[in-house]
Structures are given as C-alpha cells and as structure tokens.
Amino acid sequence: MMNFGGSLVASTERMIEVAHLILSFPEERPIVVLTSMGKTTNKPLRAGEKAPGCGYCNVMKIEDLHYTKKHHLREEGSIISQTIM
C-alpha cells in the first residue's frame, strides 16, 4: 500500500511526481491511498463539524468546504492541462 497526503500532493507538480513514483512499480500493483491535499488537511474536518448546523441546502456555503472544492478543482485542471501537453 502507498499512502500520500499533505505536502506530497499539495500541488500539480507534486502530484505528477507521486504518479511517476507509483508508476515506477508496475509489477507491484500497489493499493494507493490519497488523503487531503496540502493546505486543505483540516478544512474537511471543520466543514464536517459545521454541517449539522447549517442544513442540507446550505452545505456548499460552508467556506472550508468551498475552499477545498475550489482548490481541488484548480489543481485537477492544472494536472489535466500539463499531462495533455
């Protein structure tokens, strides 16, 4: 099993490095676990604490959750654009 999180997957460049590391063990076929990206580690926990009090319709208004989603989508777009080029 390979577990990556925090600063190891905090940016597009780091995620690509991790991908290359994983791919360097093709015969192993490892189970890969990715946890929170750097700068977002505690935000999902805080969002989870706030969620019960805000109601289902307002969950996406929780700033910690909104920040995490925005950060992940930005990095996802960056990875896609770098791997296509």
Range of the domain at 15: 2-84
Q: Can you give the pLDDT at residue 70?
A: 85
pLDDT band at 84 (very low <50, low <70, confident <90, very high): low
Model confidence pLDDT, tens digit, residues 25-41: 889 888 999 888 887 77
Task: Report the interhelical angle of 63-84 vs 43-50 (nearest 10°).
Answer: 140
Number of separate domains in the chain: 1
Q: Would the pLDDT of 6 be above 80?
A: yes
pTM: 0.62
